[in-house]
A and B are shown apart, each in its own frame.
Chain A
Amino acid sequence: MAEVSIRGLGKRYGAKRVLDDLELDLVDGECFTLLGPSGCGKTVLLRLIAGFEAPDAGTIHLGGQCVADGAAGQVVPPNERGLGVVFQDYAVWPHMNVADNVGYPLKLAGVDAALRRERTRAAIAQVGLAGLDERLPSQLSGGQQQRVALARALVSEPRLLLLDEPLNNLDANLREEMRFEIKALQKKLGITILYVTHDQEIALGIADRLAVMDATGRLRQVGTPEEIYARPADDFVFRFLGIANFLPVRRVGDALRLGSGSDPWSGPPPDRPGAALAAGFRPSDVLLARSGPGLPGTVRRASFLGAQVDYLIDVAGTLVRVTTPSHECVERDLLFVEGETCRIGFAAVQWFEGDVVAGVAR
């Protein structure tokens, strides 16, 4: 069980600088998620911690021991770091059955045969695959192969478990199940986990703490999922965590105006000073009404999606995305069609300053 300590980490591929002066600490026993868009460098960071790559600058400490020093050019090879790794494509060896796959780390460590068999069987049972010891990977489903990979990574009781987007190739239901199981296992064994993903739903659901990385490899915010979601550090984080709407708001004297026109801003007041601000909100933060004190809007598109109705609404020239639970739409006469006018209120607004592009962002 170790803490991870990273200082000044840098990695270059040719002329491209993927990571630069990165600093991060993982607390012993926590489940930490690294969230970022594809190609941002999060997988590179995981590979540096695992030892498959060597840093150009900076240091990595595992449990107090230095395993990589970029300046001195020293690295501890991956097989000596005492880690477990679960890969995106499972990397389960096709020519070995489940028991041989899971037991391989113990075999390498020289554990005697009887003890090895026992621990292997226990690990296999722990991930819910008891009885499948003799099967070959080709006879298993994707979810089962993923569990084999997990058991194999855990069997030698590593101090740190690294997971590289392991749930991507599973269908939605299975993904949810596995997310829960991984979390449950982690709590039970007390292992430290670093989970790398681009899927914000998985990240929020599994993490004790999480870090959001942007496309240039910089960490934008580190904190608990609730913190980051409720108080995003900047609009990048806000956008990344879900569909984001922005409306420009100007301070003119004491009054607040919407956009560049003279319509008043009737939403919640800003929590910060500044003349040019952006009000950020989620589609589900919008309170729709047929009339009343809200901002006027015109419905441009309406889609019934089952549990929700999804609207694209023009508010003073800016298009915003609004979702309302369908039962509410039916019960409170909020089923709009294209061209109708409505009023927009807000359950919650995040404020950002400066140059934020107005409109809807995915």
Chain B
Amino acid sequence: MAYLSLSQVTKRFGAVTAVDRLDLDIAEGECVAMLGPSGCGKTTTLRMVAGFEDLDDGEIRAGDKLLSSRRKNYYLPPERRNFGMVFQAFAVWPHLSVFDNIAFPLRVRRLPRAEIEARTAEALAHTNLTAAAKGSPDDLSGGGKQRVALARALAIRPDVMLLDEPLSSLDPHFREEMRFEIKDLQRRFGFAILYVTHDQAEAMALSDRLLVMREGVVQQVGTPLEVYRAPANRFVFEFIGLSSFLPAALGAGAMRVGGEHARWPASAPPPPELVAAGAAVLAARPTEIEFVAEGGLRGAVARKAFLGETIDYRIAVGDVEVRVQKSRHVAGPAVGESCALAFPRARWYPQD
């Protein structure tokens, strides 16, 4: 049985549908990331799971317990849902000590004193905060405050943790460290995570499964590797990583891009329905485009920037500009020189 289950969850704000019939099942110990640009509905979904917003349609369940349902007119308030939650701005209480922050949910549940002490001490130890227990959270850095928030959420040993962009307020240096800490904690305690972020690298590094959203609609659900290598549509392709898009006219075995002709890639031919349509968009990652001596799409180097590890090229293929990135170890053409490009791992999408 799924730990957390959302079915046909919908939320409207006036005329705008913020979340459109979202389905998601999260298994025990699984980390699922909701990824998308701001305003896509991911945070609204999380807040509905937490209980801060009600639904316009659909149901949310935890195991076999119903949490929210518009049809059945049922709504369990947040304080009774037993989730752990971490917010973007930490939401750690400055007027309570670190210890009292973490002990708060335990005290509210009126657990016996000894157990409160024990569990709080454990949470402190697991987040490396034992030394800071008596002080105020304000004495800690952003990363420290986030650890307090994590410890507080962990104290009640929840089955599911809800994380709302927990790393975006942190210094870039700390983000990676905290990411690993969250993963370690998950492995140790075995809770499931529903994670909201707009940073695709973060989402891919952390999650077991990834859900990409746009304007309230789910675009794709899959493992990070699946979503990266086989994006369901052009939006997902573009959102997850660097991209080069080439509008192409398709003929028999060949494509025409920006006035130049080439055979389409043998290892990645366009699907028949797009060939029938006669036109498509070739999508490729700049790092996966190859310079070939012959047989590729001909173009000239318009720009070449040395970025250290990589060299960033802009190749003009007729009036289309293609971005190519190669390691500095690979000898590439100079500015103005002509070259030929191959796309062995291309993906094809319909032209809109």
Contacts and interface: CB of A to CB of B under 8 A. Distances in A.
B204 A304 contact: yes
A241 interface: yes
Given A306-B224, A307-B242, A362-B173, A327 B288 contact: yes
Nearest to A310: B205
A226 B305 CA distance: 11
Contact of B308 (A204, A303, A327): A204
Given A306-B224, A348-B329, A205 B205 contact: no
B242 A205 contact: no
Contacts of A304: 204-205, 224-225, 228
Contacts of B241: 306-307
Contacts of B205: 303-305, 310
B293 interface: no
Contact of A306 (B173, B204, B303): B204
A225 interface: yes
B33 interface: no
B201 interface: yes
A52 interface: no
A156 B303 CA distance: 29
A327 B289 CA distance: 11
A330 B205 CA distance: 16
A301 B180 CA distance: 9
Contacts of A340: none
Contacts of A229: 306, 308, 328
Nearest to B241: A306
A225 B204 CA distance: 32
B35 to A, nearest CB: 11
Interface string A285-311: 100000000000000010111110010
A242 B309 contact: yes
A13 B173 CA distance: 30
A285 B200 CA distance: 24
Nearest to A348: B329
Nearest to B227: A306
A303 B203 CA distance: 11
A346 to B, nearest CB: 11
A282 B309 contact: yes
Contacts of B266: none
Nearest to B329: A347
Interface in B162-220: 173, 180, 200-201, 204-205
Contacts of A327: 229, 285, 287-288, 345
Contacts of A325: 287-288
Contacts of A326: 225, 228-229
Main secondary structure, interface of B, reads mixed
Nearest to B312: A205
B329 A205 contact: no
A58 B169 CA distance: 43
A165 B217 CA distance: 39
Contacts of A347: 329
Interface string A77-111: 00000000000000000000000000000000000
B240 interface: yes
Contacts of A301: 180
A228 to B, nearest CB: 10
A242 B308 contact: yes
Interface string A326-349: 110010000000000000000110
A306 B240 contact: yes
A241 B307 CA distance: 10
Nearest to B180: A301
B351 interface: no
B329 A306 contact: no
B51 to A, nearest CB: 32
Interface in B13-57: none
Question: Which residue among A282, A285, A304, A347 has the maximum number of chain B CB atoms within 10 Å of its CB?
Answer: A304
Contacts of B287: 307, 325, 327
Contacts of B328: 229
B329 A226 contact: no
A310 B176 CA distance: 11
B327 interface: yes
Contacts of A310: 205
A309 to B, nearest CB: 9
A200 interface: yes
A349 to B, nearest CB: 12
Contacts of B180: 301
Contacts of A284: 309, 327
Interface of A: 180, 200-201, 204-205, 225-226, 229, 241-242, 282, 284-285, 301, 303-307, 310, 325-327, 330, 347-348, 362
13 contacts: A180-B305, A204-B308, A205-B307, A205-B312, A229-B306, A242-B309, A284-B309, A301-B180, A304-B205, A306-B200, A307-B228, A326-B229, A330-B225
Interface of B: 173, 180, 200-201, 204-205, 224-225, 228-229, 240-242, 285, 287-288, 303, 305-309, 312, 327-329, 345
Q: Which 3 A-B pairs have the closest CB atoms?
A: A303-B205, A306-B241, A205-B305
Given A242-B309, A362-B173, 6 more contacts: A201-B308, A204-B308, A226-B306, A241-B308, A306-B200, A306-B224
